[in-house]
Amino acid sequence: MNANTKFGFIPVSSSITQTSIEEIAGNLLSSFHDYGGERFTEDMINLNTPIFYFIVTGGTEEKVLKLWHKRKEIYNNEPVILIAHAGNNSLAASMEILAKLQQDGEKGKIIYIDNNANKDWQDDLERNVKHHQVFHQLKNTKIGLIGNPSDWLVASMPDPSVIKKVWGPQIVNVDLEELKTRIAEIKDEQIEDDHYNLTTKAAAIKEPSKKEIKNVVKVYAALKELIRAQELNSVSVRCFDLVTDLKTTGCFALSKLNDEGITAGCEGDLVSTLGMLWANYLTNQIVWMANPAQIDEQSNSIWLAHCTVPISMTENYKLRSHFESGLGVGIEGELAKGKITVLRIGGKNLEKIWASNGEILETGSSENLCRTQVKVKLHGSAKVTDLLNEPLGNHILLMRGSYAKEMIEWWEMFIS
């Protein structure tokens, strides 16, 4: 398989058809390559990459179903994508195949190629390739749970097997003592550059001492070492134990890891970390995990606040103490106004989602909330009262851009 391959497509034709696949669909075969496609043979059905079925002719129903059942043994909840064209009974066969699969409770869709009547098929193909790539990325992801989830996350402690079955990632349990040991072993000279960048680029340093700032950078360095050693793609850290046991905080470490493309959640909140990871894969945006702090039903707005905002999301930042403890370092960031998406996944089997487009109206600086504070107005049909009537748990995720429609579309195909 080519290193640049985004998806494989298997051309399927009837054994009684005299005309070759190349004669029927030669131009289409080459156009698939333009979108990252590679022609696969039937014996490549179990490769760990998105695979679509190109229905070249009619009379292919049984062939495709047999291929699908082979693939289903490994990729149980992967939706089937059938590519149909405007001749040779391709569309009719595709409709029969998908009807049978849906009768059996499977999910899927038909991408219909007709340059005269369906000018959008390329966009449809690209979107489905991207969505299937995210599915496979999640399947190949390892999330490190460092310490247990914080005790207050009573609705956000899913069994790792549920995460694996429903969303795909593997949870790797890591003892918090291993992180503490690594923190103690980090030398000052190892953190000089990161410490210099953090302090010199800050708009102000209010409460933290020089020692406290050095210590939080050591937490970052130790956590980065642990991620490499365990070959993790993402982490969720029981960070409040660092406050109680070491008098330091993980806020900067998580902020910087997210800026570096390593999804990092706090409080051992696996549900939010999973949501952050998925959102990052799907949108390529950095995600901030925050507390819902205040709700205004009249303006359909909500204040979000936390001390771990990724610095790249801010216009400027100050180094403050951690809000709840007054220790270590919390980040007070100012976020620019503009379009955002907020979301939350949840439910007993992580099968539910709440997502909305919106906009940042203002940044706050209240002394009785976590350090970074933004007021977000929801757009569309979503209401802040949803969070009062049917909450999915603490922590709301925020990212730049308007992605709610695409996220719900992905969720409907792969999870619901």
Q: What is the CATH number of the domain that holds 225?
A: 3.40.275.10
Please tell me whether residues 108 and 182 are part of one structural domain.
no
Phi, psi of 220 (to 5 degrees): -60, -50
Specify the residue for token string 């990871």. 277
Please give the mean pLDDT across all residues of the chain: 94
Phi, psi of 286 (to 5 degrees): -75, 140
Report how far Cα 77 is from the mean position of its chain's Cα atoms: 17
Q: What is the pLDDT, as a whole number, of residue 53?
A: 97
In-domain check, residue 1: no
Please tell me whether residues 60 and 148 are part of one structural domain.
no
Please tell me whether residues 181 and 330 are part of one structural domain.
yes
Q: Domain boundary residue among 109, 139, 169?
A: 139
Which of the four pLDDT bands, split at 50, 70 and 90, describes residue 18?
low
Q: List CB contacts of 383: < 8 A, sequence separation 6 or more.
A: 297, 300
Q: What's 42's DSSP letter?
A: G
In-domain check, residue 2: no
Q: Domain boundary residue among 139, 168, 196?
A: 139
Q: What is the rounded CA–CA span in Å between residue 94 and residue 77?
A: 20
In-domain check, residue 73: yes
Q: What is the CATH number of the domain that holds 133?
A: 3.40.50.10940
In-domain check, residue 80: yes
Which whole number is the average pLDDT over 270-275? 96
Of the ranges 116-125, 288-297, 334-343, which one carries the lowest mean pLDDT score? 116-125
Please tell me whether residues 219 and 233 are part of one structural domain.
yes
User: Angle between the 404-414 and 270-283 helix axes, to the nearest 10 degrees?
Assistant: 110
Please tell me whether residues 121 and 146 are part of one structural domain.
no
pLDDT in tens, 110-161: 999 987 887 789 999 999 999 999 999 999 999 999 998 888 777 688 899 9
List the domain range (segments joined by +) for residue 55.
Answer: 7-139
Which of the four pLDDT bands, split at 50, 70 and 90, describes residue 16?
low
Distances (CA, A) of 11 to 37, 42, 79, 98: 12, 9, 18, 16
In-domain check, residue 357: yes
Please tell me whether residues 234 and 383 are part of one structural domain.
yes
Contact 215, 191 (CB under 8 A): no
Q: What is the rounded CA–CA span in Å between residue 40 and residue 348?
A: 38
Q: What is the rounded CA–CA span in Å between residue 80 and residue 45?
A: 12
Q: What is the pLDDT, as a whole number, of residue 51?
A: 97
Q: What is the pLDDT, as a whole number, of residue 17?
A: 61
Please tell me whether residues 105 and 204 are part of one structural domain.
no
Which of the four pLDDT bands, split at 50, 70 and 90, describes residue 2?
confident
Report how far Cα 214 is from the mean position of its chain's Cα atoms: 31
One-letter identity of residue 378: L
Look up the pTM and report it.
Answer: 0.94
Q: What is the pLDDT, as a whole number, of residue 115?
A: 79
Q: What is the rounded CA–CA span in Å between residue 328 and residue 217?
A: 10
Q: What is the rounded CA–CA span in Å between residue 132 and residue 148?
A: 31
In-domain check, residue 231: yes
* Count of Cβ atoms closer than 10 Å to residue 41 Cβ: 9
For CA atoms 416, 403, 265, 143, the dihedral sign is positive
Phi, psi of 317 (to 5 degrees): -145, 155
Contact 53, 80 (CB under 8 A): yes
Of the ranges 27-31, 110-114, 329-333, which one carries the lowest mean pLDDT score? 27-31
Please tell me whether residues 259 and 356 are part of one structural domain.
yes
pLDDT in tens, 33-51: 888 999 999 999 999 999 9
Q: What is the pLDDT, as a whole number, of residue 148?
A: 86
Whether residue 400 is predicted with pLDDT greater than 90 in this model: the reply is yes
Indicate the number of domains in the chain.
Answer: 2
**Beta strand pairing status for 316-320 and 352-364?**
unpaired
Q: Domain boundary residue among 86, 110, 139?
A: 139
Q: What is the pLDDT, as a whole number, of residue 118?
A: 77
Q: What is the pLDDT, as a whole number, of residue 240?
A: 85
Q: What is the rounded CA–CA span in Å between residue 117 and residue 250?
A: 55
Smallest CA-to-CA distance from 402 within 352, 346, 338, 354 is with 338
pLDDT in tens, 90-102: 999 999 999 999 9
Q: What is the 3-class SS of 224-235, one letter each residue?
A: HHHHHHHCCCEE
Q: What's 114's DSSP letter?
A: B
Please tell me whether residues 238 and 367 are part of one structural domain.
yes
Please tell me whether residues 66 and 206 are part of one structural domain.
no
Contact 25, 12 (CB under 8 A): no
Please tell me whether residues 127 and 157 are part of one structural domain.
no
Burial profile 132-146: b = 16 or more Cβ within 10 angstroms, e = fewer = bbbbbbbbebebbbb
Please tell me whether residues 256 and 183 are part of one structural domain.
yes
